[in-house]
Amino acid sequence: MKLLNVLLFLGLPALLLAGVAGCGQSDGGSPKVMPEKSMKAGTALLVQHQLKVTIHPESNELEVSDELQLPKGNGEPVSVYLNSVFQLSVDGQVIEPQSTVSGVSRYQLAVDDKHSLVLNYKGRLASTPDCSWLVQACLRLDEGGVFLDGNSHWYPHIEGAQHSFSMEVVLPDDWVSLSQGAQTNSGWEEKQPQRTIYLLAGKFKVYQSEEKADQPRAMVYLQGDDPELAARYLKATEQYISEYSRLFGDYPYAKFATVESFWETGWGMPSFTLLGSRVMRFPFILHSSFPHEILHNWWGNGVYVDSREGNWSEGLTAYLADHRNKQVKGEGMNYRRDTLQKYAAFATGGDDFPLNQFRSRHDRATQAVGYGKSLMLFHMLRKKLGDELFFKSLRDFYQTYQFKRAGFDELKTVFERSSGEDLAVFFDQWLNRSGAPVLSLQDATLKPLDDGQQQLNLALHQGQANAAGKPFILDVPVVIQFEDGNTQRETLMLTQQQQSYEWLFSKPVKPVIRVSIDPAFDVFRVPDVREVPPALNVLFSREPKTFVLSRQVPAGMELVWDDFAETFSYGQKNMKVQYDDEALPDDGIVVLLGGDNAMLSGLLDRAKQPFKLTETAYSLNSMNYTCGLHSLALTLQAG
């Protein structure tokens, strides 16, 4: 029997089930917004809005007056888009739409000599009570609160436009509102161009830091009274804004607010973030996902993404927030290793795609490429240029394109200008090609020469996973370790499928006992299976899969395991469920469910780690665990 992997679950893996059920986790995601008309990077029409918004939560109704100031045009009518639930009137006259598609109406409106329009409209908006925030637009307008963004089409939108606004918000008693920008006596104001306009409202308890001259204000909106939680977020907000401002330039907004969301989300918007009630109370969030959301105000909500060339902001933000926090703790290598492991698990099959096609995350493959491959691109660029040039280039990029759209091409241009290097090949191979290199050592020999010197020969081989065409051009770190404990570090340029290198030593050296290729995981590549720890990623990523149930399992537990297998069947093309008295397949992933599974006989004896299983407990590495109090997921790999 040739098994790629065997996975064993003893007891119910409750934490894993919670994870697959889709509980929200802050990851720097943000709700999708209306696409802007394709135009040159850095340019966009600017429409100024003077909004008065009245919220009627008891009837799910929104009433809006909006005076739009438009750029000077040629006097022709303009097309304005608005949610079709609204009845629009201009100067007291009801206006009928020219067309309505997918719930969005298009109006053709004349503009006066002052290039302005005054629109009045009202209507009822239907909420999305359970928001699958990775794949759908979310909306709320009811007695529980309000969340409106560009996908709601709640304000007049002109194709290709960005927006500045002042907003007066009329609320029920005991309600507060939130939007991007600065708070005013009656609402909110943002003078810088925005891609979309947000409006939140509800019965929040608001905490805020002391007002300081020329400093953004930290704010926390909670659904209940929790001063200790608020204090932690206020302190962390001030800490990270100060830190990132020193690195990249001044924070671009008047405040940053942390909002306890209506859903279990992790969204980063301009000048605020929405975190689910459970998510924001996890102790690790403050120094993992939370700084990611703050940093998006520089990358994504400070410099906007020109998505025609792919979305660079998620990878850059993950690198400079998530990865950087791990690196400060001495865990950067492990973070990069895990990033490469996830890419190998989720994107090296038919789900891989070039980075320039990434727009937003909606599954594990898009996350592995759009976040993982992208952050490794920036890590390799930093290693190539050095810290000083890398961070100088980012500051220049931020200063040049603040509140403008920019793509990978603009990033490349700024880095080339700062460094004086031609980076065309570097960006081309990591943006426009799918796949990744697979590195291996073909030869490592140390031999004496006739003149008394010693020569060390190395040969590196570059395979390719999910990639076609010429080899990648790589700067590969190599560490050579000698018998006496001395080491030699080299960076080798690998441009061919196989390449040889040699070094001469004038003095005798001890034998080479180890050669490590990219030991710190500084190169984007598919890691060798021996480089990475066992992980359950294989359960999600590889096919075919066979789930094996026990005939002896109690009826209640059988239903649990059935549900468990069904959970993992979502999106799987080649999966089956069978019992432990049936013959196993010859290949693929085999998942054994339950400690009473007959297929366990003799299997655990093959495990390299000491493992014993009885009716009441199991032991691993001399540690005992009581069945029923602990759950275990064990992976065994053939070979």
Angstrom distance (rounded) from CA 364 to CA 382: 26
Q: Given the residues 189, 293, 309, 410, select the one marked as catalytic.
A: 293
The answer to whether 564 and 10 are in contact (CB under 8 A) is: no
By CB atoms closer than 10 A (0-12, 13-18, 19+), residue 499 is middle
Instruction: Work out the number of other CB atoms within 10 angstroms of the CB of residue 44.
Output: 20
Contacts of 257 (CB under 8 A, 6+ apart): 178, 218, 219, 220, 221, 271, 272, 273
Tokens of 401: 């394109």
Would residue 547 be called left, alpha or beta, if left means φ above 0 and alpha means ψ between -120 and 50 degrees? beta
Of 155, 253, 371, 618, which one is the catalytic site residue?
371
- Secondary structure letter of residue 396 according to DSSP: H
* DSSP of 278-331: TGGGSTTGGGTHHHHHHHTTTBTTTBEE-GGG---HHHHHIIIIIIHHHHHTT-
Phi, psi of 502, deg, nearest 5? -145, 150
CA atoms of 12 and 5, how far apart (whole Å): 20
Among 423, 419, 436, 488, smallest CA distance to 458 is for 488
Return the number of other C-beta atoms located less than 10 Å from residue 510's C-beta.
12
Residue 314 labeled ligand binder: yes
DSSP-based three-state secondary structure for 475: strand
The answer to whether residues 272 and 182 touch, using CB atoms and an 8 Å cutoff, is no
Is the CB of residue 164 less than 8 Å from the CB of residue 181? no
Compute the distance between CA of residue 603 and CA of residue 594 in angstroms, rounded to an integer: 14
One-letter identity of residue 112: D
Distance from C-alpha of 251 to C-alpha of 257, rounded to nearest angstrom? 13
Contacts by 184-190, CB closer than 8 A, 24 or more apart: 187/51, 187/53, 189/165, 190/164, 190/165, 190/253, 190/270, 190/271
Q: Which residue has the tokens 């759908």?
A: 136
DSSP string, 576-639: EEEETTSPPPSSSEEEEESTT-GGGTTTGGG-SS-EEE-SSEEEETTEEEEBTTB-EEEEEE--
Say how far apart CA 272 and CA 181 lie, in whole Å: 9
Q: How far apart are CA 129 and CA 131, in angstroms?
A: 6
Q: Is 582 known to be catalytic?
A: no
Contact in structure between 394 and 417 (CB atoms under 8 Å): no
Is residue 296 part of an annotated ligand binding site? yes
163 belongs to an annotated ligand binding site = no
How far apart are the C-alpha atoms of 353 and 243, rounded to whole Å? 34
The single-letter code of the amino acid at 198 is Y
C-alpha R_g of the chain: 29
Known catalytic residue at 293: yes
State phi, psi for 586 to the nearest 5 degrees: -80, -20
Q: Which residues are annotated as a binding site?
A: 292, 296, 314
Q: Which residues are annotated as a binding site for Zn(2+)?
A: 292, 296, 314
Task: List the catalytic residues.
Answer: 293, 371
